[in-house]
Amino acid sequence: MMNLYEIARYLEAHDNYEILTHAYPDGDTLGSGFALCLALQQTGKKARVITTGVPSKFVYLKDGVSEQSFDAQTIISTDVAADSLLGSNTEKYVGRIDICIDHHGSNSLTAKHKFVDKYAAANCEIIYKLLQRMGVKITKEIANCLYTGISTDTGCFRYTNTTAETMRVAASLMDFGCDTAYINKAMFETKSREKIQLEHAVYDTISYCAGGRCAVIYTTLDMVKRLGIGDDEMEGLASIPRQIEGVLIGITMREKEDGFFKISVRTNGDINASDFCAQFGGGGHPAAAGCTIEGDLDSVKARLVEAAERFL
Chain contacts with a copy of itself (rule: CB under 8 A):
151, 156-160, 162-165, 167-168, 170-172, 174-175, 180-181, 184-185, 188-193, 196, 199-200, 203-204, 206, 212, 239, 242-246, 268
* Residue whose CB is less far from a copy of itself, 86 or 209: 209
Residue 282 CB, nearest approach to a copy of itself (Å): 23
Query: How far, in Å, CA of 123 to CA of 31, rounded?
Result: 9
- Of 59 and 196, the one with the shorter C-beta distance to a copy of itself is 196
CB of 33 to a copy of itself, least distance (A): 24
Q: Which of 229, 307, 293 has the alpha carbon at shortest distance from 264?
A: 293
| Distance separating alpha carbons of residues 74 and 68, to the nearest angstrom | 15
Closest separation in Å from C-beta 184 to a copy of itself: 4
| Least distance CB 197 / a copy of itself (angstroms) | 8
Nearer to a copy of itself, 52 or 184 (CB): 184
Residue 190 or 279 with smaller CB distance to a copy of itself = 190
| Complete DSSP assignment for 69-101 | -----EEEEES--SGGGGGGGHHHHTT--SEEE
Shortest Cβ distance from residue 150 to a copy of itself (Å)?
11
State the nearest-atom distance from the C-beta of 170 to a copy of itself, in Å.
5
Query: Rounded to the nearest whole angstrom, what is the least distance from the CB of residue 185 to a copy of itself in the complex?
Result: 7
283-284 and 260-267 as β-strands: parallel, antiparallel, unpaired? unpaired
Task: Using the minimum distance from each CB to a copy of itself, give the nearer residue, 63 or 199.
Answer: 199
H-helix or E-strand spanning residue 141 = helix 140-153
Q: Which long-range contacts (CB under 8 A, 24 or more apart) does 177-181 make?
A: 177/140, 177/143, 178/140, 178/143, 178/144, 178/146, 178/147, 179/140, 179/144, 180/147, 180/151
Helix axes 123-133, 140-153, angle to 10 degrees: 150
The least CB distance from residue 255 to a copy of itself, in Å, is 21
Q: Which residues are within 8 A (CB) of 22 and not within 5 positions of it... i.e. 6 or more apart?
A: 29, 79, 80, 81, 85, 86, 87
Nearest CA among 240, 244, 243 for reference residue 253? 240
Q: Side by side, which strands form the sheet with 99-102?
A: 47-50, 17-20, 74-78, 99-102, 113-116
Which residues are CB-contacts of 56 (< 8 A; sequence separation ≥ 6)? 232
Minimum CB distance to a copy of itself smaller for 270 or for 298: 270
